[in-house]
Amino acid sequence: MHNHFNGLKTAALFGSIFALLLLVGYAIGGGSYIWLFALFGLATTAYTYWNSDKLAIKAMRAQPADPQQYPQMYRIVQELSQRANQPMPRLYVSPTSAPNAFATGRNPQNAAVCCTEGILQLLDERELRGVLGHELMHVYNRDILTGSVAGAVAGIISSVASIGLWFGGRDRNPIAAIAVALLAPIAAMVIQMSISRTREYDADEDGAELTGDPLALASALRKLESGVARAPLEPTPQLQNASHMMIANPFSRADVSKFLSTHPPMDERIARLEGMAGGPHRF
């Protein structure tokens, strides 16, 4: 859907995180066990990917959106889906005042888009259209697969490294095993965050192209930044696993470091969108 070079960056990051998984396997279990780590990674990734929609919807306690109760949301998604020549996803609404939205599902035929009650109250129709265009592009660009794979592999690396620190590898090469066990989870997390940020930039650009209105999304992001600050979500384990899917980081600034955030800084995203429209604007 896009003609920029972030796809190459994502591929390189994926290669890095899988190489890290194999390195952990080698340091802890030796070369003869690498294939076990690779198979484990593939199996966990497949499960997460196949059930990504159910997991995210459940984490946000979302319910199917009634077309009569949310006609604006239905109208916008239907229009943009037809414009992209893609099937219309299932629509959900989460009963929370925290303003946010996300898309999930393993492909366009099995996708879902969820808005919180907070975002539906916060944004006007033009801004909501910008947000929904962004979320639909996550589906069309297969970003749910990308995020599921990155998150699953990063989780495997952390778990295996922790197990190896206490139960394996130290008799064979204690210094290497301990170093890998301590540093690998941090490296995996950094790579996962880099992948997520890259996909957010892509969805911003592609969503703006789909709607033909980059300033609408820029305006929505400004409102979301202040809206999340007023009503952040509690960083529970379930929500932490789903936070990378959301258009804005749902947690307060005190709960997330800029350098470990799954989302690029809002001011950078807004500047890029304004650049697409020819420069900064007031909203």
DSSP per position, 107-131: SGGGEEEEEEHHHHHHS-HHHHHHH
Tally of domains in the chain = 1
- Within a domain: 1: no
Q: Looking at residue 283, what is its pLDDT?
A: 39
Indicate the DSSP class of residue 89. P
Q: How many CB atoms neighbour CB 34 within 10 A?
A: 16
- Within a domain: 282: no
- Within a domain: 283: no
- Give the integer Cα–Cα distance in Å for 139 and 109: 10
Alpha helices (runs of H) in 51-172, residue ranges in sequence order: 52-59, 71-83, 117-122, 125-140, 143-167
Strands 90-94 and 111-116: parallel
pTM of the model: 0.78
Range of the domain at 150: 6-276
List phi, psi (to 5°) of 99. Answer: -75, 120
239 to each of 61, 64, 229, 244, how far by Cα in Å? Answer: 11, 19, 17, 9
Cβ within 8 Å of residue 279, ≥6 positions away: none
- Within a domain: 263: yes
- Within a domain: 191: yes
| HSE-up (13 A, CA, CB side) for residue 207 | 33
- Within a domain: 179: yes
- Within a domain: 281: no
Q: CA triplet 181, 237, 103: central angle to 5 degrees?
A: 110
Closest Cα partner for 48 from 92, 106, 122?
Answer: 106
| Contact of 131 with 101, CB cutoff 8 Å | yes
| Contact of 156 with 40, CB cutoff 8 Å | yes
Q: How many CB atoms neighbour CB 69 within 10 A?
A: 9
Question: Annotated active-site positions, please?
Answer: 135
DSSP for 26-45 reads HHHH-GGGHHHHHHHHHHHH
For residue 114, list its beta bridge partners.
92, 102
For residue 111, list its beta bridge partners.
105
- Within a domain: 38: yes
Amino acid at 107: N
Q: Looking at residue 72, what is its pLDDT?
A: 97
| Contact of 108 with 80, CB cutoff 8 Å | no
Average pLDDT per 10 consecutive residues for the chain, totaling 283 residues: 53 71 68 64 69 79 96 97 95 96 88 96 98 95 76 70 59 62 72 81 94 97 95 82 85 61 89 84 44
Cβ within 8 Å of residue 4, ≥6 positions away: 202, 205
